[in-house]
Amino acid sequence: MIQPEKHPHIPARHILDGIALGGSDGTIEALALISALNGAGIAFGTIALAGVSFSIAGAISIFFSYYLSRRSEIQSLKTDVSRESMEIEEEPEEETAEMKDLLKKDGYDEKEVDIIMQRLQKDKGLWLREMLRRELRVNIEDLESDPWTRPISAGIAFLLLALLAVSPYALSIPRTTALLVSICLSLVALFALGSRLFVRRNFKPLGGVESALVGAGAAGLLYLLGMLIARV
């Protein structure tokens, strides 16, 4: 089988993706739960217990969900690599024609296509890499990445951010104050996660605002739902 070129893999992107996705889910879901329980008039201590239990259960759930999804994705990618490798070895004329069409669609003229194909035909590993990227829109680095990185970072982020939303209920403060503090902490966290505030070159304020609005909307909707359920 053709072996694609090896390139250094930087797992930081997967860690940050896990933190952003897991943290946002944990924040929104915990805030929604707390808001619903407050709207229903549930006891202060019960809200705290429910919040902590939800945080732990949710973190475990998101870890396994991400892990199983990632494992399935890697297995599918391995199948794609194996198939494309076999086709380049056994059907080079067809793969050459297909690669030329892909290059032309990307804007290369006939002369440029011929030069690129001469280079690719000398290095089948590079050819395989380019075929996967241009035809299937996948990168070989994804095959080399650790399947545990994103699930672990997502699970930890979910747990910590959900507990952040619940944290005011560990204090001896009025119910309304606890809910308002929880909302404020959660919206700040959602803005930071949605805007990628922790990665300056990817900072997107609008994404942070949208994420915070989703959290605020979920909290308001679930609070009203809790009130309605309490009156039934």
The share of the chain scoring above pLDDT 70, in percent, equals 92
Report which of 13, 8, 37, 3 is spatially closest to residue 150, judged by C-alpha positions. 13
8 Å CB contact between 175 and 110? no
Mean pLDDT of 205-225: 94
Residue 11 pLDDT greater than 60, yes or no: no
8 Å CB contact between 24 and 194? yes
Q: How far apart are the C-alpha atoms of 70 and 81, rounded to whole Å?
A: 16
Most confident range, picked from 17-26, 52-61, 90-99, 112-121: 52-61
Residue 86 pLDDT greater than 60, yes or no: yes
Query: How far is residue 210 from each of residues 101, 158, 192, 193, 217, measured CA to CA in Å?
Result: 40, 19, 11, 11, 10
**Is 222 buried (19+), middle (13-18) or exposed (0-12) by CB count in 10 A?**
buried
pLDDT at 211: 94
What would the two tokens of residue 38 be? 């407050």
pLDDT at 49: 96
**Taking each helix axis from N to C terminus, what angle separates 175-194 and 12-39, rounded to the nearest 10 degrees?**
150
8 Å CB contact between 88 and 2? yes
pLDDT at 10: 46
Question: Which amino acid would we find at residue 39?
Answer: G
Mean pLDDT of 53-77: 90
Residue 4 pLDDT greater than 80, yes or no: no
Report which of 180, 208, 204 is spatially closest to residue 194, judged by C-alpha positions. 208
Average per-residue pLDDT for the chain: 87
> What pLDDT, in 10s, does the model give residues 168-209?
999 989 999 999 999 999 999 999 999 988 776 778 889 999
Q: How far apart are the C-alpha atoms of 56 and 159, rounded to whole Å?
A: 6
DSSP label of 140: T
> What pLDDT, in 10s, does the model give residues 128-181?
888 888 887 777 666 666 778 889 999 999 999 999 999 999 998 999 999 999
8 Å CB contact between 214 and 25? no
8 Å CB contact between 226 and 39? yes
The share of the chain scoring above pLDDT 90, in percent, equals 48
